[in-house]
Amino acid sequence: MKPLTLTLGLLTATLTAPAMAATTLNVFTAGDDNMVEYINEFLAPRFEAMYPDVSVRALGTGPGDAGSQAIYETLSAQRDQATWSVDVAVVHQRMAGQMVEEGLLADYVDAIATGDLVSAQSARNALGVDVEGYVMPMFQSQIAIAYNPDLLEQPPESYTALANWVEEHPGQFGYNGITGGMAGVGFVFGWMYAFTDMADTLQNGPWEEDATARWEPALDQLRTFNQHVTMTPGNAGTLDAMNRGEIAMGPVWMDMYYTWKTDGRLNPNFRLLLLEPGMPGQPMYYTIPERAAEPDLAAEFIALATSPEIQAEGIVGQFNWFPGIDAEHVRSELSDAQWEQLYADVSPETLSERGFSMPQADYFRAILEAYESHVSR
């Protein structure tokens, strides 16, 4: 037994040693692996260079709303405690609204230097909930259709055309339903924008009690549509299935798409397009929990992450994501080539015309429930 105890002691010592030497900033992030990677590989070293006695610990809670739900549950389980174990939380829009309403988040934006670099509507209102002052957008992402030009030269450009196209090309379109991440969820929302007459109401409210009944034709159509498509396991699964040649096109997050492309993990021939009438996108938000253990460091961390230099160098330059702060502050930090690369596949005009927001929180949930009871069962 002795050697075992000794080994254990040694292991514990190695594990706890670095943690004791420094203050730890706990950053919880929802979303796919690439989010954790960005914080770990890009942000953390820069922040630690500024604050040598701080170490950043980034934890991923999983893709899609489930990841934000996990952060919400972590925080609400600690409601009665004096300080909470999360210093910075990166969450999706829907959960940000709910967390602000339940008083789980701190009002911090006015206190940081970069607070006035954001003027976008989505920084003030998250799916119908007023979140002004509580959130800073990390980046703006957009769901788009990726396609493989080797397999199809003339991709369908609208939801209507796509619905016809899949009947002639069964299995060639793939998406991840609504259980495997937001790309599939967003595709479904886009479907509802296209095939119900409620596109505007879904995005801006107000809530209408009888709405769900009016969705039935669109949901029935989606059910038929699903019989001709391939289901992929998760956001990454769609890209993966394209890589393996199993499908020719499918909805993806543009940020993930570009991360993979720069990594050399994606066939460089792939292209993106936005379906007509439009597809949703959303920002990821930096938030600080109301009783974070290190609120000041957390604010500094977010100020760094939303500074024009970092947004230019990291978000746009390195990862090809759309900046979270207003574009004009980022533009000057970048070369023309970098800037154009951002819009290589989708032009700024198309983006402003076909880039929609996610539905309001009530509709958000109602559409998912309706999908489960009408389409997937």
Residue span 178-207 as binding mask against other proteins, x where in contact by CB under 8 A, dash where not: -xx---------------------------
> Which of 2, 4, 206, 209 lies at the binding interface for other proteins (CB under 8 A)?
4
Rounded Cα distance, 220 and 227, in Å: 11
10 Å CB burial of residue 49 (0-12, 13-18, 19+) is exposed
Q: Give me the least distance between CB of 332 and other proteins, in Å please.
A: 31
Number of shown-chain residues binding other proteins (CB under 8 A): 57
Nearer to other proteins, 103 or 264 (CB): 264
Is residue 326 close enough to count as binding other proteins by CB under 8 A?
no
Per-residue tokens: 51: 């604050």
The β-bridge partners of 289 are 105
Is residue 8 close enough to count as binding other proteins by CB under 8 A?
yes
Q: Which of 321, 338, 318 is nearest to 263 (CA)?
A: 318
**Coil, helix or strand at residue 59:** strand
Is residue 314 close enough to count as binding other proteins by CB under 8 A?
no
Is residue 172 close enough to count as binding other proteins by CB under 8 A?
no
Rounded Cα distance, 302 and 313, in Å: 15
The HSE-up count of residue 143 (CA atoms within 13 Å, CB side) is 29
Is residue 335 close enough to count as binding other proteins by CB under 8 A?
no
> Which of 193, 260, 319, 322 lies at the binding interface for other proteins (CB under 8 A)?
260
Residue span 50-79 as binding mask against other proteins, x where in contact by CB under 8 A, dash where not: ---------xxxxxxxx--xx--xx--x--
Is residue 373 close enough to count as binding other proteins by CB under 8 A?
yes
Is residue 233 close enough to count as binding other proteins by CB under 8 A?
yes
**126, 93 contact by CB (below 8 A):** yes
Nearer to other proteins, 140 or 232 (CB): 232
Q: Which of 35, 24, 26, 21 is nearest to 67 (CA)?
A: 35
Nearer to other proteins, 114 or 172 (CB): 172
| The one-letter amino acid at 108 | Y
Q: Which of 375, 345, 346 is nearest to 195 (CA)?
A: 375
**305, 138 contact by CB (below 8 A):** yes
Nearer to other proteins, 69 or 140 (CB): 69
Q: Which of 253, 284, 257, 274 is nearest to 353 (CA)?
A: 274
Q: Give me the least distance between CB of 109 and other proteins, in Å please.
A: 25
Q: Which residues bind other proteins (CB under 8 A)?
A: 4, 7-8, 11-12, 14-15, 28, 32-34, 40-41, 44-45, 59-66, 69-70, 73-74, 77, 85, 176-177, 179-180, 226, 230-234, 236-237, 239-240, 243-246, 260, 264-267, 368, 372-373, 376-377
